[in-house]
Structure 1
């Protein structure tokens, strides 16, 4: 089961005078991740590198930001994969201390910065949601709303016209049961769109 994070968590390591500021945080996708990395570049203009790794939407990405190829982004990405994380951005801001660490030292520093941040992170199960839409006569709205609540559905939008149209999100594993219960509660008069 994939997990995401409840909130951003930070870490800080100092290795041979270089300072590594790690962060792991939930993101919705690549666009939000790239925007966050741009923010970090702006917040830390004197930093030598802002390396990052992303697992989101079934896709992954890694960026070494000028470090030797494969010594930062990819090792950080492997930490996220090992933890079965999804919708998570890992970043490490490096302030160079004047002492070169070598390829092995860089890999250890970047993975340790991410791993340290993850130690304090609250992992939450990632529940995939399914969008659904249907209409029911007004007389059944109350009963249907109770069924939606019982199945963990989240109402996105409700329109009151000739009938009541409901747009909702429901956990994927509960869609079949919800359809059955809404059909029962509306005496077969729900129209799925």
Structure 2
């Protein structure tokens, strides 16, 4: 669905893996931020539900999430804090996070802040700063990747030649997708920018590495994680 509806070909997101957690203490209140990569509203809301159970004794479970390559799904919830003092500052922290200098394209991110009240009122301004800082500090420490929509191309090679060829392709800077196997062959999958010039260059490189014996077959596009530059 994303490929059909969006012209975006690249955006930043959290690295796949376990939730990322970070805690701040501000005037005796504990602010526990949990970040999760989520590609649907259902996944984002599952995080909220799970943390309500885990931090069942926290006074507030405020949330914000941004979804989609175009960041067209944005939600936030103050969960009992004064209106506009929690969810919205959290949302803005995600939207304003620079993933490279001058670029704010972070998406598919769900953030929850569980607050344990410390007995000292922070006031509206203090709450805005606390929730914003909590998410910003967590994002600064989290591992981010770039998610790119790339053309997947396949090359079938004998099992005995696959390891060396894959190493050569990686050394040449190609992004490798998931490998598959048949009885006689290893199917290497390369993720290439969806551009005729890049596809032509990859085809020539494959022919060069294999003395013209292996054909590169272009398939569809997929979203692939690559390291941030």
User: Is the contact made by 1:134 and 1:165 (CA closer than 8 Å) also made in structure 2?
Assistant: no
- My pick for the range that moved more, 99-108 or 32-41, is 99-108
- Among 142, 149, 152, which residue is 1:132 paired with? 152
Deviations 1:3-37 (A, max 9, x none): 4456724122233x5432234x3514234432222
Q: What does 1:141-152 correspond to in 2, within 5 Å?
A: 142=162, 144-149=165-170, 150-152=172-174
Q: Does 1:29 align with 2:50?
A: no
TM-score normalised to structure 1 length: 0.72
1:181 matched residue in structure 2: 205
1:8 matched residue in structure 2: 20
Q: What are structure 1's unaligned runs of at least 5 residues?
A: none
Q: What are structure 2's unaligned runs of at least 5 residues?
A: 1-9, 99-105, 220-229
2:226 matched residue in structure 1: none
User: Is the contact made by 2:77 and 2:86 (CA closer than 8 Å) also made in structure 1?
Assistant: yes
Distance in 1 of aligned mates of 2:12 and 2:80 = 30
Distance in 2 of aligned mates of 1:20 and 1:137 = 53
1:53 matched residue in structure 2: 64
User: Is the contact made by 1:132 and 1:167 (CA closer than 8 Å) also made in structure 2?
Assistant: no
User: Is the contact made by 1:63 and 1:73 (CA closer than 8 Å) also made in structure 2?
Assistant: yes
2:81 matched residue in structure 1: 67
User: Is the contact made by 1:131 and 1:168 (CA closer than 8 Å) also made in structure 2?
Assistant: no
